Structures are given as C-alpha cells and as structure tokens.
Amino acid sequence: MKKRVLFLCTHNSCRSQMAEGIVNHDLGDRFDAFSAGTEATAVNARAIEILKEIGIDISGHRSKVLGEFDGQQFDYVITLCGDANDKCPLFFGGVQRTHIGFSDPSRLKEGTDAEIMREFRKVRDEIRVKLTEFLTKP
C-alpha cells in the first residue's frame, strides 16, 4: 500500500506544487503526494514551466487549501516554508510532521527572466534531491 504525503506551503502555488509533482512522478510507485496551502492562490506559471523541462506535467494542478484534506490520513505532513510550519494545525493526529524548508523562487522579482528561471531550477532540483532522500531513507 502506498504511503500518503501532504506538502504544505503558504500559497500552494510553487514549492508545494513542485514537490507534489516530483514525488508523484519519481516515487509514485510508493507514494501518493498531495499539496495544500494555508491560503489558496494559483499555480505559478514558472513552476509549471520548469517541471515541464524535466518531463513532469503539473499544468492540471490547482491551488488547494488545507481544509480540503480534513479527515484524511497521511503518513507524512511536510511543510516547505516557515510560515506554513508556524501555522500548520496539529489536527493530523499521530502523523509524522516534518519541516524541510526551501527558498521561495517566486519572491525573486529583480533580475532577468533567465536569472529568475535559474533560481526556479535551483529550488526544483533541491526539492527533488532532499525529498527523495527523506522519503526513501531506511
């Protein structure tokens, strides 16, 4: 039976969406990944674009709020930003809740498009490595 993992970030637009897509793509034989935010917005277009570069399509994803998962059981709840870590309620009884923080590439407003995309790629690659290491450790 697959383990269920929920990724949380404030707006469920970038990091948590990338994490959901990467884990479902790379580790989908062992995990069902979901994502939500303390507030819902929209999936970041650059996050969609940089995942597409590595063969992962999240264009059908939508931003979700935490309340959509009320009553559901998860093996892991992983916060990806400090704000979500602070605001994450403790109603996930008995679940392993972990914080694995990543910088927010969507906050980068200055610089060329190439520089901004480079930051998105850096965070994407960090998410892929760190979450794979965490979820596959013995």
Catalytic residues: 9, 81, 88
Q: How far from chain centre, in Å, is Cα 63?
A: 11
Task: Provide the strand spans (E) within 10-106.
Answer: 31-37, 76-79, 96-99
The pair of three-digit structure tokens given for residue 137, joined into one six-digit string: 């450790």
Query: Which of 6, 14, 22 minimizes the C-alpha distance to 125?
Result: 22
